Each structure stands twice: as structure tokens, then as C-alpha cells.
Amino acid sequence: MNEDYYLDFQRYPLETWKGELKESKLLPSRQILKEDLEARFKVLKEQGISNLQELMDALKTPGKARDFASQTGLPEDYLLVLRREVMSLKPGPVNLSKFPGVNAGAIKKLEEAGIKTTLHLFRRVKTPQNREELADELGVPREDILELTQLTDLSRVKWVGPVFARIILDSGTNTVEKLSKAKSGPLYGRLLDINQEKGYTKARFVESDLSLCIEFAKKVPIIIEY
């Protein structure tokens, strides 16, 4: 799997994530992560863990988490929830057909070539030359490949599903880099107007949701060239 699609956990300090957990609004099932936060993260540091990759290596399987619990005295259920929370920072690939408003013919040709998800497409569209070659190879309009590339880029951000990616793209904020530099207030107003006009979703989203996406976008590696 091409890891540059996701966050680079080696460059994500444990201390930074601790601060984010402290300030975050967690689901009830994950409130355990805030219990004894300072003391538990001190134990992790004492084990030589300084970033999220080292944490994932230590908790890679349920068996390793069980051994780590025995070794450190940290509760096993806490470590398993901790692992799930870290993994949630890597959104799963999206099926290209899930994006609203895309060329169905282009999707069909991509799928026939084995390119069915955003991760599949990501591997083939990192540069303008890559995109031109793919478009010419499959007989797909270059503008459709570019649009799907931009949707793919945006969907690498946690909480940005296929519909939200479409709304954000239609605002002109069509890359991870642009999203990372956006101001939530003005952009939120544009997204509401776009959704009201085009009726993409009846689901309610608020400005704080967008703010979280913008902050997360700042951590996503800028890989695709435009």
C-alpha cells in the first residue's frame, strides 16, 4: 500500500497528539483516552515512544497490545482503543463511483482498468504528466482525470467523505493544500450556498466540522503536483 497517501506517522510527535486528544471531543466509547492522560503518556514515553509510528509498532496486533499492557501496567482495553483512535487518522480509500457529479463513463473506464478507489487513482496521478498519460491510455477526458484527482486529494483528509469532498471542490478549494490554508468562516458560507443550490446532501454540517478538516489538512502530506 502506498503510504504517502496517508499521514506520515513518523513525523507526528506523540506529544502533539496528546495535546490534540486533550482538547478533542471524543465519542463516549473513546472517553477512556482522556483518563489519566498525562500519566499514561508518560509511561509511553518511558518506553521510548516519541511518535505515532512507534506507538503503532508497539500495538500492531492485539497480541502485541496484550504484551505491552503486561510490560507497562497500562490497561489492555485502553491500549486497544488508543490503537483504533490512531488508525482513524488514516481515512480509508473511497470508491470513485461514490463521488457525486462525476463522469460515469470515465469511472467505468477507470474501473475496467482496475482503478476503483481513490488509493488506486492516487498512485497514477501524482504529476500532470502522470494524469495526461492515464487520460490518453484510457481514452478519458483530461479534465475528468483532473477532477477525480482533486476529489481524491481532498478525500485524504479525515472527515471528508465523497459528498463533502464534492462540495469543497465546487467552492474552488480543490486541493489539500488549498484546504489547509482556508479560513473556516468564509469557506463555510460558500459550502452552505453550494449545497443549497445543488442539493448534494441533507446532512447538517457546522463550521466547527469544517475547522477540524482544515486543521487536519495541515498535517496531510502535499504529494500531488498541479
Beta strands in 136-226 (DSSP E): none
pLDDT at position 1 is: 42
**Sign of the C-alpha dihedral, residues 27, 178, 201, 163?**
negative
Alpha-carbon distance of 37 to 92, in angstroms, equals 28
Beta bridge partners of 51: 13
| Angle made by CA atoms 178, 179, 183, in degrees to the nearest 5 | 100
- 144, HSE (Cβ side, Cα atoms, 13 Å): 21
Using alpha carbons, select from 12, 8, 1 the residue that is nearest to residue 221: 8
Beta bridge partners of 13: 51
pLDDT at position 26 is: 84
pLDDT at position 3 is: 63
For the chain, give percent helix, strand, coil, nearest 5. Answer: 65, 0, 35
Alpha-carbon distance of 193 to 68, in angstroms, equals 50
Q: For the whole model, what pTM was predicted?
A: 0.88
CB-based contacts of 106, cutoff 8 Å, min separation 6:
140, 141, 144, 145, 148
Beta bridge partners of 117: 95
Using alpha carbons, select from 16, 73, 24 the residue that is nearest to residue 46: 73
Domain parsing of the chain, residue ranges? 3-87, 96-217
pLDDT at position 25 is: 82
Would you give per-residue pLDDT tens digits along the chain (226 residues)?
Answer: 446 999 989 989 999 999 999 988 888 989 999 999 999 999 999 999 999 999 999 999 999 999 999 999 999 999 999 999 999 999 899 999 999 999 999 999 999 999 999 999 999 999 999 999 999 999 999 999 999 999 999 999 999 999 999 999 999 999 999 999 999 999 999 999 999 999 999 999 999 999 999 999 999 999 999 9
Cell triple for 115: 482503478
Q: Specify whether the CB–CB gap between 89 and 119 falls below 8 A.
A: no
